[in-house]
Structure 1
Amino acid sequence: MRTFLSGLLTVVAMVAIVVAFPSLWVKERLVDSEGFVATITPMAQNEQVQDYLAGQIADSVAEEVGIAATAPVVEPAARAYTHSDAFEADFVDVVSQQHAWLFDEPPAGSDTTTMQLDITDMVNRVIAQTGVDARVSGPILVPLSGSGGAGLEAGRYHEVGRQITAMAYASLAVAIAAGVLALLFARRRSVVLAWLGVAVVVSAVFAWAVALFFSDRAKAEVEAAEEGGREVSAVIIDGAASDLQDLALVVGGIGVGVVILGVIGRLASGRR
């Protein structure tokens, strides 16, 4: 009976471990607003993102003054700004807007079909750098997803985010409880430890697959956006997927270490 309980609890713990790691990453790095910002903010150093927003800022300034020919004049100042330290703080605000669009419930009567980012602060900062004594009241909105029902609708991941958060906490609790009980009931704890290590490795592989699926799915969501916005979205998506894959390698390595520890323990107990 003791061996049966230990085996059953080990299986339960293994399943929970496989689910826990990727769901916790999604909860902490995407669903949580601070985690989302921390995940995406490094993309402020990406030259493609910087150039895209510099072009959008220059075009917005030209549109505000009503003279299209001013865009080439303003663009050098916009590029200097997007390559400066001040840009990252404003980029964090834009990233926060993205998170709110995806995970917050949209206000009643608002446009829910097109993700638009307010870059008014960026435009005003560039105008100030040119020495012009003027300020745009805004909002200056840049569409980042498709329109007419295509792309990412506002609040699309609101409910999904809540479900993933619940799953992450539940799977973590089950993994810890079942794993500890399995070790307590086990006659050969080293064997149980090795199997738990295998589950950690499988969880890392599963997380890697989740990153690939997330990347492909997210890129398909923004396929209807204009080319520049689509390319920038792809950079951001790849950055998030890479974060999960890098962490999966670390977790997989830890799992391999646990397996080796369990095997060594089993061999040592066998000699005794």
Structure 2
Amino acid sequence: MRFMATLLMWLVTTVLLALAVPAVWVQQHLVDGDGYAALAHKAAADPGLQAATASELTTQVARLGTGVNTETVSLVAATYTGGSTFPEQFAQANRFAHRWLFTDSVRSSVDPQGRWVIDFAPMLSDASFKETLSDYNITVPTSVPIPLTDSAPSMLRPGALRWAATYGPWASVGLAVLTGLAALLTLFIARSRGKMLVALGVSGLLVGGGGWAAIEFGRRRLDRVLDNMSGNIRRIAEVMVDTAEASLHQWLNISLIVGGGLVVIGVIVTLLVGLAKSS
């Protein structure tokens, strides 16, 4: 009976851990506005993203003015995206897209078709562009929304994920607490603490390894979603996805490391207990 209870609690703990790790990561890096901005800030260091953003900024300047020398603007844009102010302003631009999806503070009136957009106005307002824009008598509007997709699906509308912003923090914290409590309860009812530490380590290894496999499977589906984008926006989105994927990989690696550590500790504890009983 005790064995079955221990096995059941181990399974519950493993399932909770498999839910808690991605849930906490999603809350901290995607749902939370500051976390998403930090992710964008990190992605902005990628040369590919910088080149794509510079190209898109050049396109927008040409759209806002007439007789624009795109070669000159392109050089200015490339210098700007390679500078120290770009990461922060790119993060600020991405906050606009985040608010569009996770709050109702950005209405679909920004884009008549209700498409998901990113605001390039903070970047075009940088001092790097001031002289160039002045030469062409261009005044940067309050917002320069760039559609991320040509047509947003019905479920992807302004404020569509507001519920995630409201309940996400509670859900992630709740899952983390439940996982910890389940692990402690499993250790408490187990007949052998050492063997159970090994089993909990295996849980961490399963979650880490399974997470890597799930990312590989999910990336194929996500690539099909990215096919709805084109040009510079597609390149920017790919780098953002790659950055997010690398971040989640780090979390899964921690799960693998902790799981492996628990296995080693459990084996040592089991050996020491066995030696103590034999002596």
Q: TM-score range by the shorter chain?
A: 0.7 to 0.9
Matched, 1:60 2:60: yes
SS of structure 2 residue aligned to 1:137: coil
Q: Does structure 2 conserve the Cα–Cα contact (< 8 Å) formed by 1:117 and 1:143?
A: yes
Counterpart of 1:172 in structure 2 is 176
- Paired with 2:250 and 2:59, the residues of 1 have a C-alpha distance of 37
- Paired with 2:92 and 2:130, the residues of 1 have a C-alpha distance of 19
Q: 1:196 to 1:149 in 2, by over 3 A?
A: closer
Counterpart of 2:123 in structure 1 is 122
- Paired with 2:169 and 2:43, the residues of 1 have a C-alpha distance of 25
Counterpart of 2:14 in structure 1 is 14
- Paired with 1:222 and 1:114, the residues of 2 have a C-alpha distance of 15
Counterpart of 2:195 in structure 1 is 191
Report deviation, 1:8. 3.1
Counterpart of 1:79 in structure 2 is 78
Q: Does structure 1 conserve the Cα–Cα contact (< 8 Å) formed by 2:116 and 2:152?
A: no
| More deviation, 107-116/87-96 | 107-116
- Paired with 1:129 and 1:245, the residues of 2 have a C-alpha distance of 43
Counterpart of 2:274 in structure 1 is 270
Report deviation, 1:190. 0.9
Report deviation, 1:237. 0.6
Q: 1:99 to 1:131 in 2, by over 3 A?
A: closer
Number of equivalent positions = 271
Q: Does structure 2 conserve the Cα–Cα contact (< 8 Å) formed by 1:29 and 1:36?
A: yes
Q: 1:200 to 1:215 in 2, by over 3 A?
A: same
Deviations 1:69-114 (A, max 9, x none): 4222211111111111111121111121222233224766645642
Q: 1:148 to 1:156 in 2, by over 3 A?
A: closer
| More deviation, 105-114/48-57 | 105-114
Report deviation, 1:55. 1.8
Which of structure 1's runs of 4+ aligned residues deviate more than 6 A?
Answer: none
Report deviation, 1:233. 0.7
SS of structure 2 residue aligned to 1:145: coil
SS of structure 2 residue aligned to 1:142: strand
Q: Does structure 1 conserve the Cα–Cα contact (< 8 Å) formed by 2:6 and 2:189?
A: yes
Counterpart of 2:69 in structure 1 is 70
- Paired with 1:229 and 1:151, the residues of 2 have a C-alpha distance of 21
- Paired with 1:73 and 1:127, the residues of 2 have a C-alpha distance of 11
TM-score normalised by L of structure 2: 0.85
- Paired with 1:220 and 1:6, the residues of 2 have a C-alpha distance of 43
Counterpart of 1:208 in structure 2 is 212
- Paired with 1:54 and 1:73, the residues of 2 have a C-alpha distance of 12
- Paired with 1:106 and 1:212, the residues of 2 have a C-alpha distance of 34
Deviations 1:19-69 (A, max 9, x none): 2112211121111111112223111111221122212222222222222x4
Q: Does structure 2 conserve the Cα–Cα contact (< 8 Å) formed by 1:13 and 1:175?
A: yes
Backbone CA RMSD of aligned residues: 2.7
Q: Does structure 2 conserve the Cα–Cα contact (< 8 Å) formed by 1:204 and 1:249?
A: yes
Q: Does structure 2 conserve the Cα–Cα contact (< 8 Å) formed by 1:215 and 1:238?
A: no
Instruction: Extract unaligned runs of 5+ from structure 1.
Output: none
Deviations 1:183-219 (A, max 9, x none): 2222211111111111111111232234334433333
Q: Give runs of aligned pairs for residues 94-243 of structure 1, distance below 5 A.
A: 94-105=93-104, 110=109, 111=111, 113-125=114-126, 126-130=128-132, 132=134, 135-147=139-151, 149=153, 153-159=157-163, 165-243=169-247
| More deviation, 178-187/25-34 | 178-187
Q: Does structure 1 conserve the Cα–Cα contact (< 8 Å) formed by 2:93 and 2:122?
A: no
- Paired with 1:124 and 1:32, the residues of 2 have a C-alpha distance of 26
| More deviation, 100-109/224-233 | 100-109
The residue type equivalent to 2:227 in the other structure is E
Matched, 1:244 2:248: yes
Q: Give runs of aligned pairs for residues 8-47 of structure 1, distance below 5 A.
A: 8-47=8-47
